[in-house]
Amino acid sequence: MTNQMPDSNCSCCRLLRLPLLLVSLIVVVGCNRSESSAPKNPAPAKVPNPVKEETLAAVTLTPEAEARLGITTVPAALKPVARSRSYGAEVLVPLRHDRTNGANSSAGGESIFSLFPALTPTEMIKVSEMQVEADGQIAAAEVQSEAAQISLRRAQSLLAEKAASARAVDDAKAHVALAEAAMKTAQKRRQLLGAPIFQAVQGRTIWVRVPVYAGSMQEIDSAAPARIRSLGTTTNQSIITAKPLALPISSSGGSAMVDLFYEAENPGNSIRPGQRVTAEIPLRGQEQSLVLPASVLIYDMHGGTWVYEKTAPHGFTRRRVQVRSMQGDQVAVDGSVRPGAEIVTAGVAELFGTEMGFAK
């Protein structure tokens, strides 16, 4: 009996394949429906009417208003400026002899605090106690020296009257030498403890400790003076020039920071020991920067720094800038201002008042 293969074109085979095609079609349609019906994730933020910052800070004046405000402009110019970098710093008490601090003669000369100048308040109290004790040792040594001198004069007088031996005079001289040696030792020990704490705090000289990253030492011009100002100062007011101190570089154990020290006169005690300040440290070399008169700057309530640029006839736009450094009446800035832009230098406050609505 011969086996025959079924004809694929026969009606029975076509009927058998039909359910398989229907199942496949249903699966495909179902997958497409599930994908299209999946909800989309909402956008994280929606700004219906985005507005650029400069469009909110534009002022247009009439010719008469511009003339009445006395507005003048200067072109922003690229100039080479000295490089500098600002660091957080701390004001210290200079515990060494300084005539301006009123230190007494017993504390004359340099002290160990020229090598280790940073002191906490607790350490200052301990140093004060050590200074008092050292002053007492000097006073006791002075009394012993005077007593030894009296004994020597008495022995010499008795020897002249042949009432004492030469050995007694020699013994008196030895006591005088010992007393003088004790006096010098007490004075040297007191000298190491520096100027009296209270007088040093009340003095006109301060030291400033500036921690910097050790890897930045190649950039820093350590021989140039630094500019010290209180935190939050935004102008040249209250800026003190401090000269570098030739002290050994110190650092905290295991830290990559090293300390630089500067000394400054502090007339009127405007900066006090323990106060945190900003130190602008000069760097080596120069760089190109936009330089403008300091009078162009305006500060908002949050401390932001702005200038007004003349962008159209009688039209002015407030531009945000960042102050890089200030030298006298000139300021180096970064920001959206381009070289050649006309920047308002007179009438800045009037423009700001007009923009904010508290001036007419």
Note the pLDDT of residue 240: 84
Query: 50 or 244: whose pLDDT is higher?
Result: 244
Kindly state whether residue 76 falls inside one of the protein's structural domains: yes
pLDDT averaged over the chain? 76
Note the pLDDT of residue 268: 73
Q: Are residues 186 and 119 in the same domain?
A: yes
CA-CA distance, 123 to 107, in Å (whole number)? 18
Amino acid letter, residue 3 = N
- The SS3 call for residue 312 is strand
Kindly state whether residue 5 falls inside one of the protein's structural domains: no
Kindly state whether residue 321 falls inside one of the protein's structural domains: yes
At which of 194, 212, 245 does a domain end? Answer: 194
At which of 153, 178, 194 does a domain end? Answer: 194
Q: Are residues 182 and 129 in the same domain?
A: yes
Q: For the segment 109-166, what is each residue's pLDDT rounded down to a tens digit?
A: 556 555 556 666 666 677 777 888 888 888 888 999 999 999 998 888 888 888 878 8
Residues of the chain with pLDDT > 90, as a percent, come to: 4
Q: Are residues 213 and 266 in the same domain?
A: yes
Note the pLDDT of residue 200: 59
Kindly state whether residue 34 falls inside one of the protein's structural domains: no
- Residue 208 pLDDT exceeds 70: yes
Mean pLDDT of 179-202: 78
Q: What is the DSSP letter of 156?
A: H
Closest listed residue to residue 142, CA positions, set 195, 190, 194, 187: 187
Q: Are residues 279 and 212 in the same domain?
A: yes
Q: Are residues 117 and 250 in the same domain?
A: no
Split into its structural domains, the chain has a count of: 3
CA-CA distance, 101 to 204, in Å (whole number)? 6
Q: Are residues 140 and 275 in the same domain?
A: no
Kindly state whether residue 71 falls inside one of the protein's structural domains: yes
pTM above 0.75, yes or no: no
Kindly state whether residue 242 falls inside one of the protein's structural domains: yes
CB–CB of 95/261 below 8 Å? no
**Strand ranges (DSSP E) for 107-244?**
205-213, 226-230, 240-244
Quick one: tokens of 353?
């008042």
- The SS3 call for residue 160 is helix
Kindly state whether residue 43 falls inside one of the protein's structural domains: no
Domain enclosing residue 184, as ranges? 104-194
CA-CA distance, 330 to 230, in Å (whole number)? 20
Q: Are residues 179 and 113 in the same domain?
A: yes
Q: Are residues 179 and 122 in the same domain?
A: yes
Q: 């496949």: which residue's tokens?
A: 24
Q: Are residues 125 and 190 in the same domain?
A: yes
Domain CATH number, residue 276: 2.40.30.170
Q: For the segment 53-103, what is each residue's pLDDT rounded down to a tens digit?
A: 555 678 888 888 888 888 889 998 888 888 888 888 988 877 664 444 444
Domain CATH number, residue 69: 2.40.420.20
At which of 171, 194, 217 does a domain end? Answer: 194
Q: Are residues 312 and 187 in the same domain?
A: no
Q: Are residues 264 and 204 in the same domain?
A: yes
Q: Are residues 352 and 213 in the same domain?
A: no
Mean pLDDT of 5-15: 51
Kindly state whether residue 33 falls inside one of the protein's structural domains: no
